[in-house]
Amino acid sequence: MARLKPTQRQEFETIFAPIGSALASDLGMPETISQKTEILNKDTGLVEELPLYAGHLYALPETRLFPDTFTGWEESVLEAEQASGSLLGWYRNPVGGSHALSVHYLDSEVSKNLYPDFLFFHDDGDGGVAIDLVDPHNHSLADTSPKWAALARYVRENDGDFRRAAIVIKDTAGMLLAIQLSGQTDDSLEKKLAAATSKEAIEQLFRELGGSY
C-alpha cells in the first residue's frame, strides 16, 4: 500500500467497499498480507523459490518485489500493464477470504463465486487513481460462460467503479484478445456471453466484439 499516495489510497479504499452491492463482497484491505515465497516442484520433489514481480501493492519493502506464480497469459497481461508507464501497483485478487473481490454467479443452478484475477491501479494524470479490473481465463473451461456473463452484469451495475474492465483470452496464435465490459448500457453483452457455452463460441464472440489487449 506504500506505493499509493494518501489521497490515492483513500480513493482505493472507498471504491473497493461496494456497500449494498448484491453481487460484490466488501473488500477490506489490510496493512500487510501473508504470501508464500516457496513452492514444491511436483516433478522434482524439490522446494523452489517463487518468481519475483515488481509493482505489487504489497511488494517487499526491501526489494520492491513480490513472490507469485502465474499461468502464461496471466503473466503476459501483467507485463502489458507494467509497460504502460502509468501503473502505480497491482493486486492479485485472492480466491476467497475477506480481502477478495467476489462476484456471485449461477452454474447449473448452483450458486458460486467468481474472483476476477487482477486489479490494476494507474495514475490518472490528475493525482487520482484509475482502477482497471482484468480477468484472463482459460476459455476452454465449462464455467467460462456463466462466470463472464455475471462479471459483465456486475460491471454494468457498478458503472463508474472502474476505468476499464476487460475479459481476456489467448488465441491459437498466442495473441492476447480482450472484450471490454465497461461502458455497457444494457444486458446485451451479458446475454451473448451467457449463450457462448463452448470454447469455439467464446472465440467467435472475441472475434466479433474483441480486440488486441
Q: What is the pLDDT of residues 143-184, one digit of tens each?
A: 999 999 999 999 999 888 889 999 999 988 888 999 999 999
Instruction: Give the pLDDT confidence score for residue 128 in this predicted structure.
Output: 82
d(CA 200, CA 181): 20
d(CA 110, CA 167): 23
Q: What is the pLDDT of residues 54-112, one digit of tens each?
A: 988 888 777 888 889 887 789 999 999 999 989 988 989 888 777 788 899 888 888 88
pTM equals: 0.83
67-85 core/surface letters (b: 16 or more CB in 10 A; e: else): bbeeeebbebbbebbeeee
Q: What is the pLDDT of residues 110-153, one digit of tens each?
A: 888 999 999 998 988 888 888 899 999 999 999 999 999 999 99
CA proximity to 169, closest of 199, 198, 137, 141: 137
Domain boundaries, the chain: 6-212
Instruction: Give the pLDDT confidence score for residue 11 in this predicted structure.
Output: 47
pLDDT at 21 over 80: no
State how far the alpha carbon of 15 is from the alpha carbons of 64, 86, 121, 126, 184, in Å. Answer: 25, 19, 12, 17, 19
pLDDT tier, 4 (very low <50, low <70, confident <90, very high otherwise) = low
